[in-house]
Amino acid sequence: MSWGRGLPAGALTTWVGTGVVVVDQATKLWAVHSLSGSPPGGQSILNGWLSLILTTNDGAAFGLLADRGILFILVGLVLSGIVLIFARLLPHRRPLLQVSLGLQVGGAVSNLADRFRVGHVVDFIRIRFWPVFNLADSAIVCGVGLLVFYLLSTPDPRRGNGGQKQRSRAETTDFPSPRTVTGTPDQRRP
């Protein structure tokens, strides 16, 4: 039995997305309760390469376009809706694509939940030389990476062996050329 077969359309995307929301919201809740009294640099792990530090983000990724919360809510809702509709139209034979979309929509919905619930996104993971992020951000990045991998590794159905584009049916139909037709005009009529 193939992975994803027998599931309703979009179910794998929905399950992955729901899992991302649950795990991300749980870790953010933990971060708010556990890291609120941390030192200014956060709790250092791995000799400073990884730190846990509670921050908030009113803008887009990496704090861009701060104070535009309503714009991000609207864009997030529209994009999440489009992804979920698209996921329902995918064939069941594309589980990698469905997982990719689930990661992306789950991350987007979880960050949207933060904006609705507390007015900003909760971030708490910092890797040296990288802005602070959360698991939803990681899910979005991984989902986009899987989508790129899927698009680059899936053969184009319009291409045949050797990467040569297959000819259309009209191009492959052998019609007699006018020079090879024999007989009188009356014999050629159906």
- Of the CA atoms within 13 Å of residue 88, those in its CB half-sphere come to 5
Is 59 inside a domain boundary?
A: yes
* Size (the chain), residues: 190
Is 189 inside a domain boundary?
A: no
Q: Is 137 a catalytic residue?
A: yes
Report the domain count for the chain: 1
Is 169 inside a domain boundary?
A: no
pTM of the model: 0.68
Q: Is 123 a catalytic residue?
A: yes
Is 2 inside a domain boundary?
A: no
Is 4 inside a domain boundary?
A: no
Catalytic residue, chosen from 24, 58, 67, 123, is 123
pLDDT of residue 65: 47
pLDDT of residue 1: 41
Is 94 inside a domain boundary?
A: yes
Query: Three-class SS of residue 46?
Result: coil
What does the angle CA 149 – CA 121 – CA 69 come to, to the nearest 5 degrees? 100
Is 185 inside a domain boundary?
A: no
SS3 content of the chain, % helix, strand, coil (to 5): 55, 10, 35
Confirm if 87 and 18 have CB atoms less than 8 A apart: no
Is 187 inside a domain boundary?
A: no
Confirm if 127 and 50 have CB atoms less than 8 A apart: yes
pLDDT of residue 28: 96
Per-residue pLDDT of the chain (190 residues; tens, 9 = 90+): 455 555 666 788 889 999 999 999 999 999 999 888 766 656 677 777 888 889 888 765 544 445 555 666 667 677 777 776 766 666 666 888 889 999 999 998 999 899 888 888 899 998 988 888 999 999 999 999 998 999 898 776 666 555 555 555 555 555 455 555 555 656 655 5
Q: Write out the residue range of the structural domain in which residue 57 sits.
A: 11-152
Catalytic residue, chosen from 137, 156, 174, 186, is 137
